[in-house]
Structure 1
Amino acid sequence: MSCATTPSMHIYRLKYPLLFGIPICFMVLVSCKTKTKKGDQIAGTPQELQEKTTSLIQNRISGIIAGEGQLNDTTIAFNQPRISKLIYEKRSFEPIWCNKEKWLPAGDSLFFFIESSQLFGLFPEDYHVKQLKAIRTKFFHDSLSKGDRKDAGFWSDADMMLTDAFIQVIKDIKLGRLPQDSITLRKDSVLSDDFYLRQFDALQRSGITGLVQSLEPQHKGYHLLKAGIKKFIDSADYKEFTMVPFGEKDLASFNRSLQKRLYEGGFIAFDSVRADSAQLATAVKEFQKKKGITVDGRAGEGTLRMLNVNDREKFIRIAISMDKYKMLPEKMPSKYIWVNVSANYLELVLGDTIKLGSKVICGKAKTRTPVLTSNITELITYPQWVPPPSIVSKEILPAVKRNPGYLARKGFSLVDSKGNEVDPYSVDWSRYKKTIPYRIVQGSGDANALGIMKFVFSNKYSVYLHDTNQRYLFANAMRSLSHGCVRVQEWEKLTYYILRNDSLNAGSGGYTKMDSVKKWLQKKQKKSIAVRNKIPVYIRYITCEGRDGSILFYDDVYAEDKMLREKYFSAK
């Protein structure tokens, strides 16, 4: 097969500026003992070329410099030098992707996959695309095999780069590029040498696309996101927009930057004349309306985060989000509750079907809802609320110091270690700075911050799902408002499903009937209901999702993706 490119060979050819705008640096190593003269690399026949290519691969692979990922006598920087060396040793150093002046079908397919790897949330420059393309171009221009096609150095370089790229693609598709952490639930977070060797065999059976698809996460959210990438890339705008700094003290300078950015986005019609505050507010409202965030005309922190995200950065957000799905178990439970903190949305999932969707209110940037995995074990009707120490020290204690009547106004009781209620006016609050020797309890009732239903699951953060006494807040577009717990709009439907699931799977055990719960709610009684068939809860932070072939982007309100981008995708 020749190296000429034909449309049928492509999965999808695309050009995306961020891929080639950053130069790839290589260290040139020189070794007097192993350096091969250029003339020694030129072959007279296809068979001789094959032999010289094999010899060069053996010499260069054997000369890997420990820990550097560099090969003697070459400028190639390997990502996976140890695995590459192992694979070539198993094959007696024969080339894998080419044979006697021709690319093998697998070599062509892998190169075209690399070119279009953005469709899988990958970055072609991570897989030697620029260097491979340069070599393929040389071969294309030497269609009569009188020059570069006879050079075993080019063929050995290309073969080794494709091998290294293949290994890296496998790793990035299977595990992603983010580090495994305490909530990662995969059992195969480290891939064995044997695993990589098996993928070369699988490649022959399935082809590169089939192999990659077999390694991808099965989570529906991942595939919905992936399905929107082509449309996103086709419509992406690569313009560099003016950054509007948050916290700029010079108001005039801030307004100039804001006006310029709004003008670049088509939200205000002029940039040459300074806009007044009313004109800026109108333009900001247009931007907010388009982005689906709270329309108030104020360029606050959340609005500026959205203004400062361009399509180059959005693609990196897509890649990060796809990698977060790779940190989930390979097989999800048959039923589970999924909370996306960034979207402020909850889903009750049964198989691949969403049985219930609900708006939720998650934590503010200063009081984040944690990422966690647990199981619903208990429901509580008309619960009491005991604020955690963090809320007591940061909010309640300062308020009580100003006015001890704050507790009664908010429905709180002050209780000592023996369970006796204490008059807050009898306490010398000036003695306490962070902790207090009392419990603060908000009693059951319609005014309770937890509302009338609490969903309990074990976790070290003292957070839970619950109803709320501020249900009007669900109408807000921006709902990152809580102290860390998750307020659920459709708490009643969620309660019904959990109890129904218990009744259907009761066996010989008992279960609580929904009619009983309704009576307790009518009578405003506090009751604890054990959930016998525990339902898993996954709370995650994913800033973009696929829907109907498009991608929706949410505010990175915790700046988590910003941190991940700077730490693990800084070269993009």
Structure 2
Amino acid sequence: MCEFRFENITSCNNITDIMNPLSKLLLSFLLITTVGTVACKCKKLPPKENIVINPNEMNVAVQQQIKNLLEDVTDSIVQLSDSTTLNYYQVLQHIYAKNDYAPIWSNKEKWQPQVPALLRYIDQAALQGLFKNDYSFTKIMQLKNRLDADSVQRTNAVLWANADLLISDALATILKDLKQGRLVPDSISYKKDTSTYTSFFLINFNKIIAGSPVDTVLAYVQPQLADYKLLKNSIKQFVDSMDTKSYTFLNYPYKDSLAFLQQFKKRMAEANMPIATPTDSTALANTVKKYQQLKGLTVDGKIGNAVVKQLNLTDAYKFKTLAVTLDKYKMLPEKLPTKYIWVNLPSYNLKVWDTDTLVFESKVICGKPTTPTPLLNSAITDIIIYPTWTVPTSIITKDMLPGLKRNPNYLARKGMYLLNNKGERINPENINWSKYTKGIPYLIQQGSGDDNALGVIKFNFSNPFSVYLHDTNQRYLFKNGMRSLSHGCVRVQEWQKLANYIVRNDSMLLPKGDTLRYNTDSISNWIAAKQKHRIDVKNKIPLFIKYFSCENLKGSLKFYDDIYGEDKKLIQKYFANK
């Protein structure tokens, strides 16, 4: 309710007694104008009560209440009588208008049969990688309990209308979160895309209203990819044993060392490893060593990235990682190609899929955190046997230019050479390297051979980052657990299997009457003879390089190291307060 007061004139019993007629007229005009202006700016809340004695008249009253709420939109917000706002009011306007604003989830003071299943689904939202508080669950249950338990409250059409709209808003939000995820920008969200209001929201509302099982309808809108389904199958076991305690999150690296130390002390106490005097470096180091030993980390007593990562890797954080990963699947094409190559960076793994069958998999080495492998969709276009390596500008500037400044013979020692813009070799000793800081007007190449950084084979694909799949001259690195070691390209351990699969695929799909100039034997022979060859792939194999930090591995939920901190950024942006 709005009020208008003159705070400083209350000392006069009757101010108009001391005013002349003109002043009285001006005061009246100011009062009328100001009160009118204030009233216009006040938002009128919907009524809190509309008592309907006859249950047979309840639907009409609820229908009118819903219509009034959805039609009276101020500042793009629909507000219920308790100031609760609806997230998907535009979608609800569309859906309810199609049904003449009639209630969806109740009929004459009784709940429709779909409501218990829908509320149970929301209550168990964690099994879908969702957070039930995103769907007004507590508010809905409070309203439902009031309507179920109190015969007087049951006569209030406002409560029935509020409950109906909140349940619909929750369903619309869940539909979008299951179909599109929560990582997409608003500009392309189903929430803003009016073309989806009928083709997606209304059609799925109608399925549930018509009696289709809630679980079935909501399962169908999600990705149908095998790995997505497997990952979801892992959730229940994890959630059932999940530690739901709230722990202190450590931001690292830090700016304020004293504040970080206090946070660290608190977090170690939560881990049942209290530090009595955190300013005592010996006591601090000894406690850190005990923790490192307990968690299988390098025991050095230092508070580094590994220790902080382990402390932050709580069950609640793992669940958020799971939620992020599920949403990444929703950003993939609805249907993947019949045949494709899948590289998952956090697992250091490559898989080749053919008609839902895993043909083979391989260990890979990917980019270091300072030179991360880019995420992309592309396709293998050609294969180079015994490739030369043209060093990218970024590597020249960062790694090679300092070496050339120290010693012009730096390239020769690495089996590399310098080329001018005509492709002619030039002597590095004739160049004044000190004048270059950000790049050089030359190419640096490494000739083909067993010592070449690319190994004996390279798989090219279109991309703006100058990266590719390839063999390596450091094959011993595949035995490492942590394999983020390259400058951005992906090194493939099973490169021969990959080459043979691509060549066989070309052979199988060869049009009748055509011939190929290569086969799997050709590749083996060329490599044995150390001959350079280029193979144009006729049937390009799609390639996906992705970043999925967890998966169902042999029936169990497996979490991988967030090597580039990508998931940490997404969690902080979208799920920080969950």
Q: TM-score, normalised by structure 1?
A: 0.85
SS of the counterpart of 1:413? strand
Structure 1 residue 265: Cα displacement: 4.5
Match of 2:58 in 1: 49
Match of 2:164 in 1: 159
Structure 1, residues 323-378: CA drift from partner, whole Å, max 9, x if none?
A: 11111111111110111112211111123222111111111111111110011111
Which runs of structure 2 are paired with 1:494-513 in the superposition (5 Å)?
A: 494-508=498-512, 509-511=514-516, 512-513=518-519
Instruction: Select which of 47, 57, 75 maps to 1:36.
Output: 47
Q: Distance in 2 between matches of 1:217 and 1:408?
A: 53
Match of 2:122 in 1: 114
Structure 1, residues 489-533: CA drift from partner, whole Å, max 9, x if none?
A: 111111121112122222233332111111111111111111111
Structure 1 residue 243: Cα displacement: 4.6
Residue pair 1:336, 1:536 contacting (<8 A) in 2 also = yes
Structure 1, residues 100-125: CA drift from partner, whole Å, max 9, x if none?
A: 11110122222111111111111211
Give the 3 Å change call, closer, same or farther, for CA 249–35 of structure 1 in structure 2: closer
Match of 1:483 in 2: 487
Q: Which moved more, 1:545-554 or 1:488-497?
A: 545-554
SS of the counterpart of 1:360? strand
**In the alignment, is residue 518 of structure 1 matched against residue 553 of structure 2?**
no
Match of 1:82 in 2: 90
Structure 1 residue 564: Cα displacement: 1.7
Give the 3 Å change call, closer, same or farther, for CA 30–97 of structure 1 in structure 2: farther
SS of the counterpart of 1:138? helix
Residue pair 1:284, 1:299 contacting (<8 A) in 2 also = no
Match of 1:59 in 2: 68
Residue pair 1:318, 1:544 contacting (<8 A) in 2 also = yes
Q: Which of structures 1 and 2 has the larger relative contact order (alpha carbons within 8 angstroms, sep 6+)?
A: 1
Match of 1:348 in 2: 352
Instruction: Select which of 454, 461, 475 maps to 1:457.
Output: 461
Structure 1 residue 475: Cα displacement: 1.6
Instruction: Select which of 99, 102, 120 maps to 2:107.
Output: 99
Give the 3 Å change call, closer, same or farther, for CA 252–113 of structure 1 in structure 2: closer
Q: Distance in 2 between matches of 1:349 and 1:504?
A: 16
Give the 3 Å change call, closer, same or farther, for CA 502–133 of structure 1 in structure 2: same
Q: TM-score, normalised by structure 2?
A: 0.84
**In the alignment, is residue 407 of structure 1 matched against residue 405 of structure 2?**
no
**In the alignment, is residue 309 of structure 1 matched against residue 318 of structure 2?**
no
Structure 1 residue 77: Cα displacement: 1.0
Structure 1 residue 205: Cα displacement: 4.9
Count of matched residue pairs? 528
Q: Distance in 2 between matches of 1:451 and 1:127?
A: 53
Amino acid in the other structure paired with 2:57:
E
**In the alignment, is residue 337 of structure 1 matched against residue 314 of structure 2?**
no
Amino acid in the other structure paired with 2:413:
R
Structure 1, residues 517-572: CA drift from partner, whole Å, max 9, x if none?
A: 11111111111111111110001111111224432112222222222222233432
Structure 1 residue 257: Cα displacement: 7.0
Q: Distance in 1 between matches of 2:346 and 2:472?
A: 19
Structure 1 residue 259: Cα displacement: 7.9
**In the alignment, is residue 218 of structure 1 matched against residue 224 of structure 2?**
yes
Q: Distance in 1 between matches of 2:545 and 2:163?
A: 44
Pick the structure with greater CA Rg: 2
Structure 1 residue 380: Cα displacement: 1.0
Instruction: Select which of 194, 203, 208 maps to 1:198.
Output: 203
SS of the counterpart of 2:389? coil
Give the 3 Å change call, closer, same or farther, for CA 410–568 of structure 1 in structure 2: same
Amino acid in the other structure paired with 1:63:
D
Which runs of structure 2 are paired with 1:237-256 in the superposition (5 Å)?
A: 237-244=243-250, 246-247=252-253
Amino acid in the other structure paired with 1:123:
F
Residue pair 1:49, 1:100 contacting (<8 A) in 2 also = yes
**In the alignment, is residue 129 of structure 1 matched against residue 137 of structure 2?**
yes
Match of 1:179 in 2: 184
Q: Distance in 1 between matches of 2:81 and 2:300?
A: 62
Q: Distance in 1 between matches of 2:146 and 2:231?
A: 37
Q: Distance in 1 between matches of 2:95 and 2:154?
A: 25
Amino acid in the other structure paired with 1:128:
S
Q: Distance in 1 between matches of 2:494 and 2:106?
A: 59
SS of the counterpart of 2:390? coil
Q: Which moved more, 1:379-388 or 1:203-212?
A: 203-212
Which runs of structure 2 are paired with 1:314-325 in the superposition (5 Å)?
A: 314-325=318-329
SS of the counterpart of 1:118? helix
Match of 1:207 in 2: 213
Residue pair 1:227, 1:550 contacting (<8 A) in 2 also = no
Structure 1 residue 70: Cα displacement: 2.6
Q: Distance in 1 between matches of 2:172 and 2:263?
A: 45
Match of 2:542 in 1: 536
Residue pair 1:285, 1:296 contacting (<8 A) in 2 also = no
Q: Distance in 2 between matches of 1:356 and 1:175?
A: 30
Q: Which moved more, 1:108-117 or 1:155-164?
A: 108-117
Structure 2 spans left out of the alignment, 5+ residues = 1-40
Q: Distance in 2 between matches of 1:440 and 1:130?
A: 64
Q: Distance in 2 between matches of 1:163 and 1:240?
A: 31
Instruction: Select which of 339, 342, 364 maps to 1:360.
Output: 364
Q: Distance in 2 between matches of 1:452 and 1:550?
A: 37
Structure 1 residue 302: Cα displacement: 4.3
Q: Distance in 1 between matches of 2:177 and 2:377?
A: 24
Give the 3 Å change call, closer, same or farther, for CA 211–245 of structure 1 in structure 2: closer
Give the 3 Å change call, closer, same or farther, for CA 284–377 of structure 1 in structure 2: same
Residue pair 1:455, 1:464 contacting (<8 A) in 2 also = yes
Q: Distance in 1 between matches of 2:264 and 2:574?
A: 30
Q: Distance in 2 between matches of 1:369 and 1:191?
A: 36
Q: Distance in 1 between matches of 2:193 and 2:527?
A: 46
Q: Which moved more, 1:275-284 or 1:438-447?
A: 275-284
